Amino acid sequence: MLERGQVANSWRRERWDSLRLLTPNWLTRLPGHRYYGADPDGFMTSAELVRFVSGFAEIIDVPVRTETTVTSVQPTDDGYHVFTTAGDLRCRCLVLASGACNLPSVPAFRSAVPHSLECLTPMDYRRPAQLPEGGVLVVGASATGIQLADEVHRSGRPVTLAVGEHVRLPRTYRGRDVLWWMETSGIWNERYDEIDDITRARGLPSPQLVGTPARSTLDLNVLSAAGVKLVGRWAAVRDDKALFSGGLRNHIALADLKMNRLLDTFDAWGRESNREDEVEAPHRFEPTRVPTSAQLDLDLTSGETRSIIWATGFRPDYSWLDVPVLDRKGALRHDGGVVEAPGLYAIGLPVLRRRKSSFILGAEDDAAYLIGHLAAYLDRRQGAAIG
């Protein structure tokens, strides 16, 4: 295993200080490695997750070459040539486990933002004290955006949140964590080749969830009640003004509709599987309150806004992969983790083989399948060489 930093590097280097997992401890697992602590319904901090992953690395005892950055991978006649900052290697098979969130995804109009504003991505942001005093524009209302909007607002800075497409989820439903429903009802287990529009499923924003000891819901209603100002999706910059889309109402209506459909699915599953006695009675949540007159632009030079946090998503970095397996948009071409090049595999990408593949717990099943495929590939090659 080659790792440019230390084991669990992304959780050591690329997360903000207060971050806790949004998946509860009982769902945080790696193959044969589980949380056995006293708080199964709690949510690990990044530091706790680093210990959890490091403990796993010790148990499996696979040689990890840390502080070794892969700078290039090139195909050869019988596998791959891997160039690293600590020497070269050759291999017959290669598993890309370099992560789905290496780089922040920021809109191109970022370059038109006046230089007087401090701009951060979630990879640079650590705590509110890093920001200048004054207004903060948080762009994006998925898991990262709502968590950072909440934290920055609590620091006393006025926050405006630009809201595009988002996935609304309550923390708990009928007395159970919403991810209990996702896991137990089998929704998270849905296979990639059974999903109608897999490209869309893989591109969906992360759910509006936060892991806190209080297990509280953090959605747009909670944020706007606390004083966070909601505006539409940030669409462009013109004459030093941020222009927001007029589609906020539609985005909100769609997210509410989808959440209610999901709750209907949970209810139907509860009835059909006779699990009703494990949960409380069905109910529905208050619809998201739409601002009566959402602001459509914001003067970025007025001094009202002093900083911007781009919580607009992440993307993988394959700049070192010199194998022709990327599509026009730079995404890896693969079929459930089997990449379109002999002996090349990927793990740790959104909805790789199942919906749950986007999360830590998904690696368990994905690895089992891919290792089987990889071993069969090596056996076939071995057989061909002997024959």
The binding site for ligand FAD (CB under 6 A) comprises 2-5, 9-10, 15, 21-23, 69-70, 97-99, 101-102, 144, 314, 320, 348, 359-360
d(CA 281, CA 283): 7
Please identify, using beta-carbon distances, which residue of 262 and 347 lies nearer to ligand FAD: 347
Return d(Cα 226, Cα 161) in angstroms, integer.
12
SS3 of the chain: helix, strand, coil, percent, to 5:
35, 20, 45
Q: Which residues pair with 172 in a beta bridge?
A: 177
Residue type, 43: F
Cβ distance to ligand FAD smaller for residue 5 or 247: 5
Q: How far is the CB of 349 from ligand FAD (least distance, A)?
A: 8
48 in Cβ contact with 11 (< 8 Å):
no
**How far from 166 is each of 309, 317, 341, CA to CA, in Å?**
17, 24, 34
CB of 173 to ligand FAD, least distance (A): 18
Phi first, then psi: what are they for 84, rounded to 5°?
A: -135, 170
Match 């109402």 to its residue by tokens.
249
Considering beta carbons, is residue 70 or 120 the nearer one to ligand FAD?
Answer: 70
Least separation in angstroms between residue 56's CB and ligand FAD is 11
Query: In terms of CB distance, is 56 or 244 closer to ligand FAD?
Result: 56
Quote the least distance from Cβ 69 to ligand FAD, whole Å. 4
Question: d(Cα 138, Cα 154) in Å, to the nearest integer?
Answer: 14
Q: Find the shortest distance in angstroms from Cβ 71 to ligand FAD.
A: 7
351, 192 in Cβ contact below 8 A? yes
Q: What's the min distance (Å) between Cβ of 225 and ligand FAD?
A: 25
Query: Who contacts 64 (Cβ-Cβ below 8 Å, separation ≥6)?
Result: 1, 2, 3, 7, 57
- Comparing CB distances to ligand FAD, the nearer of 215 and 241 is 215
Smaller CB distance to ligand FAD: residue 33 or 275? 33
